[in-house]
Structure 1
Amino acid sequence: MKIKQLEIFAIDLPLVEPFIVSYDTYPSMPSIIVKLTTECGLVGWGESVPDDHVTGETFEGTYAVIKDRLAPKLIGANPMEFEKIHELMDKLVKDAPAAKAAIDIACFDVTGKKLGVPVYQLIGGRYHEKFPVTHVLSIGEPEKMAREAEERVGEGYRSFKMKVGRDVASDVARIQAVRERVGIDIAIRVDVNQGWKNSGNTLQALQALQGAGLDWLEQPVVADDIDAMVEIKSKTTVPVMIDEGLCGVRDMREIIAKRAADKVNIKLMKCGGIYPAMKLAAMAEMAGMECQIGSMLESSVGSSAGFHVAFSKKVMTSVELTGPLKFSKDIGDLKASYKIPFIELGAGKGLGVKVDEGILAELTQYSDVVKG
């Protein structure tokens, strides 16, 4: 099996409401979709959602890397040879993980379809039967976040990820408001997205939140300050998770060596796709750290890829892949798999996602085709 053609689509996914994190507000979510076609006529779908705050990749630059650097050299390659595919991409471009993720995901999708199995059967087989779905609360006023949390509990949600990171005082008020509204039996995970900057601010916040019963605290300090994570971990009983501070193998080696986290958030867009994500999960497992699969708010394509990784590994204890629930229009049908409060992944071939090419065309801003 050889790659015959790669089509690249720049799309804009409409959100039900703006997604607000510490460093930006997203009224909609730009995404790059890749359609890989083989000489035997099989199609694999991939997705790239770059984030210049996290991976250092702009949307325009990522599109150009896929179109001009990666795609032309992949024509004629065997998409089933994942190690060779990544070796080739790494020789062509240093880093650029979100760009490589789109190719990686498309290769896994088409390989699963060729062999007639779900992607999770290619990477260890299915381990988990279902995962709880965590609702993500965008940054807002305390009362607004508390009201939304209360409404979601009424819909069946049992866990929340709270986006904070504006300043310690207002963030503490947000967290306390949500906890007071939903009660102590509901799980609350706090994601600061680097917004508290340093260990001093973070420890001040944790002291004020001693009675809040947090599941864990995610990336409170700037991404490259691993030593601050070490200090925070040594001075609190709240489990700490690294997200933006973990992109690839080099980061993971330092995190393990310094025992800088209890948990790690692996995202396909940060590490380069399914194949590199499995390597990071294996490293974390050997170090005794739990893993989560997170996302940059991908469509059904990228979200499904993340779920296949999560469902195949024992070390994966949580997922936060909520893109299909937050989009008012999606190119795929993964939303049907969310059975609140759980996600139940099907057994379809490849990613198991049916892409609606009519909606894809409707959301496309511009596109290109690379042929052999």
Structure 2
Amino acid sequence: MKISKISIYQVDLPLKEGSYSWSTQTFSAFDSTVIIVECDSGLIGVGETCPLGPSYLPAYAEGARVGLAKIAQGLIGEDPIQIGKINERMDELLKGHPYVKSAFDMACWDILGKATGQPVYNLLGGLLQDKVTLFKVVSRQAPDAMAAKLSAYQDQGFKQFQMKVGAGANSDIDRIFAVSEVLRSGNILAADANTGWRQHEAIRVVKAVRDVDIYIEQPCLSYEECLAVRKHSDHPMILDECMDDLRTLIRGYNDSAMDVINLKINRVGGLTKARQFRDLCVSMGITMTIEDTWGGEIATSAIAHLAHSTPKGYHFQSSAFHEYHSLEIASGGPKIEDGYMIASDRPGLGVTPNMDVLGTPVSVIK
């Protein structure tokens, strides 16, 4: 089986609630890139990469499409189910830029699943969880508005939450107190600064909310700053943006820098490398949030398959990004019910792209 055609699509994902705010950034829609890989056997695979704006990580939507077009010509004629070789070839064609390669790697796993008649979770380790625990994001707003949203989400059956902070220590302390007051017994809340605090601000916050039952997520930009905050706090710590390679993961383990890590598929380069990351975490006893930066039904399906194949004791929570959008880019996305999601058991990722929504490709490589 050989790759015969690669099509690249751009689609904007508008948000149901109108906007999404975290740290100091606000968006009303996210620019996503979808790739469709066609084979001479007739099989097709789909992948998606959706950076969270251009200044969140070293990744941006236009760069994803340019990068994919750059490597696509060198992948025509390759066997997509030889996924290790595909990843080696992508690294030969383009140094770095893991968020670019993630979409193509995802599409190859989709093809492998279809070629073998297996859902991707079977290929990633088997169905170790029947359903995937979700967390709901509480976008950054005024404290009372955030508290009201969390109450509404609890009524919908969600039990784990990530509130967005990082816009200033004083206002964030107020936000944490307001939201935590309406958190129901047994539910879980994290305050995610998305690198938005300076070290001195983060230390002020964790001291001010010392008695609040809350996780603190990625308070500062650098690993070193987060480690310093960790030493001033009794709160469980989640590290996210700085966990970008296996070396940092091992360093964090040796430094006892975190209690949970956030594993984002496109930040590490796709499902292949995310599985490596996941398996090392399990070997070292590290619990994970498994998600991606953003995306629609395709990216969310990849999240669900990786989470389904992760031992329950090491899986903290995941995101279902497609539930935040008013546009369906593919059918067959994970089903959501009572704070959980379940991936399709169809071969591959189980999704079918909605071509009427994707429209005309921005690039076609044959």
TM-score of the two chains, using structure 2 as the length reference? 0.95
1:187 alignment counterpart: 188
Residue 233 of structure 2 corresponds to residue 236 of structure 1? yes
* Structure 1 segment 211-230 matched on structure 2, within 5 A: 211-214=211-214, 216-222=215-221, 225-230=222-227
Structure 1 residues 331 and 184, CA, compared in 2 at 3 Å: closer, same or farther? same
> How far does the alpha carbon of each residue in 1:4-55 deviate from its partner, in whole angstroms, 9 at most, with x for none?
1100001111111211111421110100000000111111000111344344
3-state DSSP class of the match of 2:28?
strand
1:13 alignment counterpart: 13
1:301 pairs, out of 295, 298, 301, with 298
Question: Which moved further from structure 2: 282-291 or 324-333?
Answer: 282-291
CA contact under 8 A between 1:55 and 1:96: conserved in structure 2? no
CA contact under 8 A between 2:307 and 2:318: conserved in structure 1? no
Alpha-carbon offset, residue 295 of structure 1: 2.2
Corresponding letter in the other structure for 2:344: G
2:344 alignment counterpart: 346
2:60 alignment counterpart: 58
1:367 alignment counterpart: 362
Corresponding letter in the other structure for 1:10: Q
Residue 202 of structure 2 corresponds to residue 202 of structure 1? yes
Alpha-carbon offset, residue 336 of structure 1: 5.8
Alpha-carbon offset, residue 233 of structure 1: 2.6
Corresponding letter in the other structure for 2:94: V
> In the aligned structure 1, how far is the partner of 2:321 from the partner of 2:123?
24
CA contact under 8 A between 1:268 and 1:295: conserved in structure 2? yes
Alpha-carbon offset, residue 318 of structure 1: 2.5
CA contact under 8 A between 1:23 and 1:193: conserved in structure 2? no
1:249 alignment counterpart: 246
CA contact under 8 A between 1:42 and 1:113: conserved in structure 2? yes
3-state DSSP class of the match of 2:182?
helix
> In the aligned structure 2, how far is the partner of 1:161 from the partner of 1:22?
13
Alpha-carbon offset, residue 197 of structure 1: 2.2
> In the aligned structure 2, how far is the partner of 1:345 from the partner of 1:261?
29
2:31 alignment counterpart: 30
Corresponding letter in the other structure for 2:60: T
Corresponding letter in the other structure for 1:219: Q
CA contact under 8 A between 1:104 and 1:275: conserved in structure 2? yes
CA contact under 8 A between 1:229 and 1:261: conserved in structure 2? no
1:277 alignment counterpart: 274
> In the aligned structure 2, how far is the partner of 1:108 from the partner of 1:332?
17
> In the aligned structure 2, how far is the partner of 1:197 from the partner of 1:77?
47
Structure 1 residues 3 and 319, CA, compared in 2 at 3 Å: closer, same or farther? farther
**Runs of 4+ in structure 1 over 4 Å off:** none
Structure 1 residues 59 and 159, CA, compared in 2 at 3 Å: closer, same or farther? same
Alpha-carbon offset, residue 335 of structure 1: 5.4
2:283 pairs, out of 261, 283, 286, with 286
Corresponding letter in the other structure for 1:255: G
CA contact under 8 A between 2:129 and 2:308: conserved in structure 1? yes
> How far does the alpha carbon of each residue in 1:160-194 deviate from its partner, in whole angstroms, 9 at most, with x for none?
11011001111111111112123343211111101
3-state DSSP class of the match of 1:73?
coil
Alpha-carbon offset, residue 240 of structure 1: 0.7
Corresponding letter in the other structure for 1:221: C
1:310 alignment counterpart: 307
Alpha-carbon offset, residue 101 of structure 1: 0.4
Q: CA RMSD in A?
A: 1.6
> How far does the alpha carbon of each residue in 1:118-176 deviate from its partner, in whole angstroms, 9 at most, with x for none?
00111111101112221101100001111111112122221211011001111111111
CA contact under 8 A between 1:14 and 1:28: conserved in structure 2? yes
Corresponding letter in the other structure for 2:138: L
Give ranges in structure 2 of 5+ residues lacking alignment. Answer: none
Structure 1 residues 70 and 76, CA, compared in 2 at 3 Å: closer, same or farther? same
> In the aligned structure 2, how far is the partner of 1:118 from the partner of 1:269?
20
> In the aligned structure 2, how far is the partner of 1:54 from the partner of 1:280?
21
3-state DSSP class of the match of 2:4?
strand
> In the aligned structure 2, how far is the partner of 1:150 from the partner of 1:281?
32
1:147 alignment counterpart: 148
3-state DSSP class of the match of 2:26?
strand
* Structure 1 segment 251-266 matched on structure 2, within 5 A: 251-266=248-263
Corresponding letter in the other structure for 2:226: M
> In the aligned structure 1, how far is the partner of 2:177 from the partner of 2:58?
33
> In the aligned structure 1, how far is the partner of 2:135 from the partner of 2:332?
16
1:108 alignment counterpart: 109
Residue 71 of structure 2 corresponds to residue 73 of structure 1? no
> In the aligned structure 2, how far is the partner of 1:76 from the partner of 1:84?
12
2:43 alignment counterpart: 42
